[in-house]
Chain A
Amino acid sequence: MTTPSLNSSVARAFSRHRYNLLDLVLLGAAVATFFLADLYLALATAVLIMIVFALSLDIAQGYGGIETLGHAAFFGTGAYAAGLYAMHVSSEPISGLFVGMAAAAVVGLLSGLAVLRTAGLTQIMLTLVCATLLLELANVAKPLTMGDDGLTGYSVAPVLGLFQFDIEGRTAYWYALAVLVLVYAFCKFLVSSPLGLTAQGVRENPTRMALLGVPVRRRLLTLYAISAALGGAAGALSAQVNNIVGLDSLGFTMSANVLVMLALGGTGRLYGAFLGAIVFMLLADRAAALDPTNWLAALGVLLIVVVRFAPTGLSGCLARWTNKEGTQ
């Protein structure tokens, strides 16, 4: 946005919100993953779901400047709503996905009324409190959510009535990929829409935007609810694919992890969600198998290094690097 003339096409890809070669590469990689990483489809599906979740956080944090440490509230709400819907109403997955999104959007609207009145640490605290409140609610409402044991025992019908979820996770992968593509297309549209552009203005200077006549609070609330709905979609996907919803879907670790992913990838650029989620999930999967304790320390070091040397994340680094290459 503020970057001067960019020559390299890759750098252009990073700085604009139009479709380009990079999108094609990402889609190609996703399709190739299906054929090459046959044994790791479950992990690949988990990565796709976390990309959706990181995209939803990027909308609120990266584009709206809303500081949040409780984004799991929306993931968990979407997951529980979709799980309960599958158990008690209908096992049809696509309507379940929308139920999860709607439930999360309602939570986003209600909590947004409180969260968006504040800024800075109080805002962070309020998001954290909202997520913890929901966690305790899910813990207390044992007859409904089964508490610690997690919500299980529901089944999900074939997607569109055609594609049955299989044990190898092939349907799950394509289903999650389809949802990701739709969510991504929506995000692309959103961030260059009037709402997305004013949100970025509010992020930079709320007072000036208010003076320009922008109803700041209302715009942010809309953005927050949309972000919540997308987070709910990620949660609903997770519930349908894994056939279980645990309390950890509402936990602090979930909120912190997605924040870490987005920061690793770079906030305020949609590609950051992709890069961050892929790098984090693959590293976490390998490292946690080898040594969970020291992985935590390594993650901590990685975070500090990113904050110190790459405040714009991996995608920011890539964009800067390709930009330099391009101008030579």
Chain B
Amino acid sequence: MTSTLATFLSLAVDGIAYGMMLFLISVGLTITLGVMRVVNLTHSAFAMIGGYIALWFIQRAGVHFFLAVPLAVLATMAIGALLERTLYRWVYGTHGLGQLLMTIGLTFIITAIVKNLAGTQLQSLPLPPSLQGNFSVGPLTLSVYRAFLIGASAVVAFALWLGIERTAFGARLRAAVDNQRMARCVGINVPAVFSATFAIGCGLAAVGGALGSPMLPLEPYYGLKYLVIVMIVVAVGGLGSLRGSLYAALLLGLIDTLGRYYLPALGAFVIYLAVLAILLVRPRGLVAN
């Protein structure tokens, strides 16, 4: 009995860690999508870019893990801002199909570039000794990395909430979302706010891609392979809702982890069934705006 419970609890912790990583990867998409209404299929490719840059810093430049990740985030933000200023500008006004195709095309290009530069093998960031190993809480053994992932995601979630609800930039952002024309009238530089928001979204993806790489290893097809799961988290959460993304990521992380353990024959089927069920009951997501 106790061992069943211990198994369940450690699975639950794994599920929460997985969910938190999903949150990290997808929360940037929630923001750019909710704010700019761009169907950005390139989002998970930005996570991959962040992961690869962090890997490059660690392996080639010998930078420490805890410095490499922030550097990679900044670099990804710069790339994101550059692409927003050039490519994304074109498709803001167009219909959904145009955005879909442009961002698929961009994902293809990034995939090919990464394949040429980094090769096809699966890679992940080497964890520093401080993140390796396990510690025990009562009968449970927890991995330090997973605990760190949960903590880091919680910090990101809190910082985001703070940034959007409590800062002047957050107020401008909310104004630009609620009523673009009015925001322009009161002197808010809406395009600049959008560029900054897009860059932040890309930076968040990079955090997720880098920190999550032990779970979702880096590879050139990362951007396409994990696109579905990222989009699902955003859609289940409710477009543009931060709280929704957090709930959805945690819920889906738990369902997927528990489903794979208790119903191994059904494998990945369980999570998609759950998503379909949730979206049937609540087409606008868990937290509809």
Chain B contacts for A279, CB-based, 8 A: none
Q: Which listed residue, A124, A129, A304, touches B87 by the CB 8 Å rule?
A: A304
* B239 interface residue per 8 A CB criterion: yes
Q: Which listed residue, A252, A293, A296, A306, touches B101 by the CB 8 Å rule?
A: A306
Q: Is the CB of A114 within 8 A of B267?
A: no
Chain B contacts for A256, CB-based, 8 A: 104
Chain A contacts for B280, CB-based, 8 A: 114
Q: Is the CB of B239 within 8 A of A122?
A: yes
* B77 interface residue per 8 A CB criterion: no
- A31 CB to nearest chain B CB (Å): 33
Cβ contacts A to B, 17 pairs, < 8 Å: A114-B280, A118-B283, A120-B239, A121-B96, A121-B235, A124-B39, A126-B276, A129-B228, A140-B267, A252-B227, A256-B104, A260-B104, A267-B97, A301-B105, A302-B105, A304-B109, A307-B102
Q: Which listed residue, A263, A303, A307, A308, touches B108 by the CB 8 Å rule?
A: A303
* B144 interface residue per 8 A CB criterion: no
* A311 interface residue per 8 A CB criterion: yes
| Chain B positions near chain A (C-beta within 8 angstroms) | 33, 39, 87, 90-91, 94, 96-98, 100-102, 104-113, 115-116, 224, 227-228, 231-232, 234-235, 239, 265-269, 272-273, 275-276, 279-280, 283-285
**Complex CA distance for A300 and B94, rounded to whole angstroms:** 18
Per-residue interface assignment for chain A, residues 103 to 140, with 1 indicating a CB less than 8 Å from any chain B CB and 0 otherwise:
00000000000100110111011101110110011011
Q: Is the CB of B279 within 8 A of A297?
A: no
Task: Knowing A132-B228, A311-B94, say if A303 contacts B269 (CB, 8 Å).
Answer: no
Total residue contacts A-B, CB cutoff 8 A = 131
* A95 interface residue per 8 A CB criterion: no
* A294 interface residue per 8 A CB criterion: yes
List the A residue with the shortest CB-CB distance to B105.
Answer: A303
Q: Which listed residue, B105, B228, B269, touches A252 by the CB 8 Å rule?
A: B228
Q: Is the CB of A296 within 8 A of B108?
A: yes
Q: Is the CB of B108 within 8 A of A67?
A: no
Q: A128-B231, A297-B108 are in contact. List 9 more A-B contacts (CB 8 A).
A: A118-B284, A120-B239, A132-B272, A297-B113, A300-B108, A307-B90, A307-B101, A308-B102, A311-B94
* A145 interface residue per 8 A CB criterion: no
* A69 interface residue per 8 A CB criterion: yes
**Complex CA distance for A256 and B91, rounded to whole angstroms:** 18
Q: Is the CB of A307 within 8 A of B279?
A: no
Q: Is the CB of B275 within 8 A of A129?
A: yes
| Chain A positions near chain B (C-beta within 8 angstroms) | 61, 67, 69, 114, 117-118, 120-122, 124-126, 128-130, 132-133, 136-137, 139-140, 252-253, 256, 259-260, 263, 267, 293-294, 296-297, 299-304, 306-308, 311
**Complex CA distance for A308 and B93, rounded to whole angstroms:** 11
List the A residue with the shortest CB-CB distance to B263.
Answer: A140
- Top 5 nearest A-B pairs (CB, nearest first) are A303-B105, A300-B108, A297-B112, A300-B109, A125-B235
**Complex CA distance for A16 and B76, rounded to whole angstroms:** 48
Determine the main DSSP class of B at the interface with A. Answer: helix
**Complex CA distance for A125 and B100, rounded to whole angstroms:** 12
Q: Is the CB of B90 within 8 A of A308?
A: yes
Chain A contacts for B276, CB-based, 8 A: 114, 126, 129-130, 133
Chain B contacts for A308, CB-based, 8 A: 90, 102
**Complex CA distance for A293 and B115, rounded to whole angstroms:** 7
Q: Is the CB of A299 within 8 A of B235?
A: no
List the A residue with the shortest CB-CB distance to B110.
Answer: A300
- B220 CB to nearest chain A CB (Å): 8
Chain B contacts for A253, CB-based, 8 A: 224
Q: Which listed residue, B106, B228, B235, B269, touches A300 by the CB 8 Å rule?
A: B106
- A57 CB to nearest chain B CB (Å): 11
Q: Is the CB of A307 within 8 A of B266?
A: no
**Complex CA distance for A137 and B273, rounded to whole angstroms:** 10
- B42 CB to nearest chain A CB (Å): 10
Q: Is the CB of A307 within 8 A of B94?
A: yes
List the B residue with the shortest CB-CB distance to A304.
Answer: B105
**Complex CA distance for A121 and B283, rounded to whole angstroms:** 11
Q: Is the CB of A300 within 8 A of B112?
A: yes
**Complex CA distance for A121 and B105, rounded to whole angstroms:** 18
**Complex CA distance for A117 and B113, rounded to whole angstroms:** 38
Chain A contacts for B109, CB-based, 8 A: 296-297, 300-301, 304
Q: Is the CB of A61 within 8 A of B97?
A: yes
Q: Which listed residue, B90, B112, B232, B268, touches A125 by the CB 8 Å rule?
A: B232
**Complex CA distance for A296 and B45, rounded to whole angstroms:** 14
